[in-house]
Amino acid sequence: MICENQYRTKACGEVTEADIGKEVRVAGWVENIRDHGGVQFLDVRDQYGVVQVVVHNEALLKDVNRECAITACGPVVLRDADTINPKIATGTVEIVSNELEVLGKCRAVLPFDVVTSRETKEDVRLKYRYLDLRNPKVHKNIVLRSEVISFLRKEMESLGFQEIQTPILSASSPEGARDYLIPSRRHKGKFYALPQAPQLFKQLLMVSGFDRYFQIAPCFRDEDARADRSPGEFYQLDFEMAFATQEDVFAIAETVLGAVFEKFGGGKTVTKAPFPRITYKESMLKYGTDKPDLRNPLEIVDLSDLFVGSSFKPFCNKCVRAITVPDCVRQPRSFFENMLKFAESIGMKGLGYIEALEDGTYKGPIDKYLSDEQRAELIARAKLEKNSVVFFIADDPAFAPQLAGQIREELAVRLKLIDESRFALCFIVDFPMYEIDEETGNYAFTHNPFSMPQGGLEALETKAPEDVLAYQYDIVCNGVELSSGAVRNHDLAIMKKAFEIAGYTEEELESKFSALYTAFQYGAPPHAGMAPGIDRMLMLLTGEENIREVIAFPMNSNAQDVMMGAPNEVSEQQLREVHIKLR
């Protein structure tokens, strides 16, 4: 509801046929002006819609131009039948203005047309973001963002979670992405850091006796931009639960995220709880990624054993993955040529395939290298039926899975196999606790170092580190990672051993994570949580391909705020106050 005052008694989008004969006052921005020989028609826009204002007295139009802010008053009348506009909610009525006042003048020349601002170069849009945000589509995205965040808060509160704010100025963390550092004025040579996430604070809240915490949390990471990652800052629905298991976290995520996509998903089908659980190992094999788009029906199979000692040298003793595409034989030659070009663009030396023809024969350069026995095994495992084509990806084990995943995605896009009518959610579980660091050759944490290893201390002491799995999980929607999370390692003895394997001494653990190290000596409960990204959620809900379209004032891809001029230079006096000297 708008507030009735001297500027308006009705929102522009709320004027209806029920108001015919009544005098109303509206306020907004002039979107368009049409001159019909002594009669001017203004399209006046506010957040709630557009209404047509008719002006017969040209004297009222002094200083009126597009995008100026006005208030206009007059009776509501029915439009002539031939002037009805079915594209807007107020299209059957108009206001005949007997009073009009310019509230905010506008320059005659605009940097771009507001209605088509999304077609303008991004840096120009961001420089004049306040104009860009008037574009109804852009504006709608930010309104939706507000509605989604409000809905998330209500859902979490209904499930017994309490919203608690954690600090923005904190200590630099040695783990994860680059910190944004803040020099201290009072403590010479020392720095605060903006939080990459509230990770340690929310764990400390669990030690403090809070049972269910959540926060619409700002996070700050000095990372390069991507289409699905904003440089600088992003927001997440951060939550943590005491005395909780992995399944408890999943139940909350299924309830809240399922409800969000149902309510704001525009009628698309949403995966029903329980969401599929896919192990990391299975996901990398079947989909070639730990962020699978389950709307894509294609799956990858491993055929490496069929080519051990093969006379076909490109596949001999390689990791060989295959993807079968039904009804693909009918595709034109250009399709196969373009898939080969794509394969080469991602670093593959080629893209082999075998076609299963209608007459029951097989065609392709690889077919002649197969024995009858191998061919029969391939047909069975790859589910190769008539008119289908099986594509092969062969490389070292470190690269073949990801390459196969990219070929799977490209095939689905080119063949329009992705079901755009649904949101397909799943959990990826059982991540490895450790991996080999390529630079050092030593073991390093795969993801969150504070995750509980499956099997606890015994697993850490008896298994090879690469065989230890963690109670660590991601939630994925339509191929987009919305969140990672974990059952936390709350046991100090297990934590010492976990960090020891990753090359940390107990002294380093105590020094770098002193608050957690000390707190866990005072009765830490088992706890678990996750933090779905709000910006990415909104990207999916709006169908936008760039995350900046769902953020009110985003930085550009070069981590600059071109509207405010950040980052900017500061004075020598400011630098001296925080004990900084530029070199």
CATH number for the domain harbouring residue 42: 2.40.50.140
Q: How far apart are CA 90 and CA 26, in angstroms?
A: 13
Give the pLDDT confidence of 444-485 residue by residue, as tens digits.
999 889 999 999 999 999 999 999 999 999 999 999 999 999
pLDDT the model gives residue 231: 85
Alpha-carbon distance 493 to 490, whole Å?
A: 9
Residue 99 forms part of a structural domain: yes
User: How many residues are recorded in the chain?
Assistant: 583
Residue 12 near residue 45 (C-beta atoms within 8 A): yes
Residue 19 has pLDDT above 90, yes or no: yes
Which pLDDT belongs to residue 459? 97
Q: What pLDDT does 329 receive? A: 92
Residues 184 and 63 placed together within one structural domain of the fold:
no
Nearest Cα residue to 45 out of 131, 150, 166: 131
Give the CATH number of the domain where residue 320 resides. Answer: 3.30.1360.30
- Give tens-digit pLDDT for 124-181: 999 999 999 999 999 999 999 999 999 999 999 999 999 999 999 999 876 668 899 9
pLDDT over 90 for what percent of the chain? 87
Cα 155 to Cα 130, 150, 214, 424, distances in angstroms? 31, 9, 11, 21
Q: Model's pTM, two decimal places?
A: 0.93
CB-CB neighbours of 123 under 10 Å: 13
pLDDT value of position 227: 81
**pLDDT tens across 491-544, in order?**
999 999 999 999 999 999 999 899 999 999 999 999 999 999 999 999 999 999
Burial of residue 559 (CB within 10 Å: 0-12, 13-18, 19+) is middle
Same-domain pairing of 197 and 315:
no
* pLDDT at site 374: 87
Instruction: List residues bridging with 32 in a β-sheet.
Output: 43
Coil, strand or helix: which one is 468? coil
For residues 146 and 425, what is the distance between their CA atoms, to the nearest angstrom? 23
Cα–Cα distance between 217 and 394 in angstroms, integer?
43
Beta 425-429 vs 277-279: how paired, if at all?
parallel
How confident is the model over 194-245, as pLDDT tens digits?
Answer: 999 999 999 999 999 999 999 999 999 998 888 888 888 999 999 999 999 9
CB 204 within 8 A of CB 513: no
What is the residue whose two structure tokens read 């034109």?
Answer: 332
Structural domain span for residue 185: 138-277+425-431+470-490+525-577
Q: Are residues 257 and 361 in the same domain?
A: no
Are residues 266 and 316 both part of a single domain?
A: no
Distance, CA of 304 to CA of 312 (rounded, Å): 13
Residue 90 burial (10 A CB sphere; 0-12, 13-18, 19+): buried
| 326 touches 299 (CB < 8 A) | no
Residues 211 and 81 grouped into a single domain: no
272 and 333 belong to one structural domain: no
Tokens coding 468:
């230890």
- The pLDDT of residue 175 is 62
Predicted pLDDT at 224: 87
DSSP tag of 535: H
CATH number, domain with residue 271: 3.30.930.10
Secondary structure (3-state) at 30: strand
Q: Are residues 399 and 268 in the same domain?
A: no
| Domain count along the chain | 3
Euclidean distance between CA atoms 78 and 90, whole angstroms: 10
Residue 444 in any domain: the answer is no
Residue 285 covered by a domain: no
For the segment 35-72, what is each residue's pLDDT rounded down to a tens digit?
988 899 999 999 999 999 999 999 999 999 999 999 99
Assigned domain for 120 exists? no
β-pair partners for 358: none
On whether both 212 and 342 belong to a single domain, the answer is: no
**Alpha helix segments (H runs only) across 244-362:** 246-264, 280-286, 333-345
Q: Compute the Cα dihedral for 77, 79, 80, 81 and give only its sign.
A: negative
Same structural domain, 31 and 66:
yes
| 389-415 per-position pLDDT tens digit | 999 999 999 899 999 999 999 999 999
Neighbours of 331 (CB within 10 A): 16
Asked if the structure places residue 112 within a domain, the reply is: no
C-alpha span between 478 and 294 (Å, rounded): 6
Helical axes 136-158 vs 534-542, angle rounded to 10°: 130
Which residues have a Cβ under 8 Å from the Cβ of 497 and sit 6 or more positions away? Answer: 457, 460, 461
pLDDT above 70 (res 421):
yes
Q: Are 243 and 214 within one domain?
A: yes
44 token code pair: 């006046």
Q: Are 161 and 239 in the same domain?
A: yes
Which among 533, 534, 529 has a CA at the least distance from the CA of 249? 529
Mean residue pLDDT of the chain comes to: 94
d(CA 293, CA 480): 8
Q: Is residue 514 part of a domain?
A: no
Q: How many CB atoms lie within 10 A of CB 440?
A: 9
Listed as own residue / partner, the contacts of 25-29 with beta carbons closer than 8 Å and 24 or more positions apart are 25/71, 25/72, 25/73, 26/51, 26/53, 26/71, 26/72, 26/73, 26/95, 27/69, 27/70, 27/71, 27/72, 27/103, 28/69, 28/70, 29/67, 29/68, 29/69, 29/70, 29/134
Residue 46 falls within a domain, yes or no?
Answer: yes
Establish if 78 belongs to a structural domain: yes
What's the average model confidence in pLDDT over 553-570? 94
Three-point CA angle 140, 145, 147, nearest 5°:
95
322 and 395, same domain (yes or no): yes
Q: Of 87, 104, 121, which closes a domain? A: 104
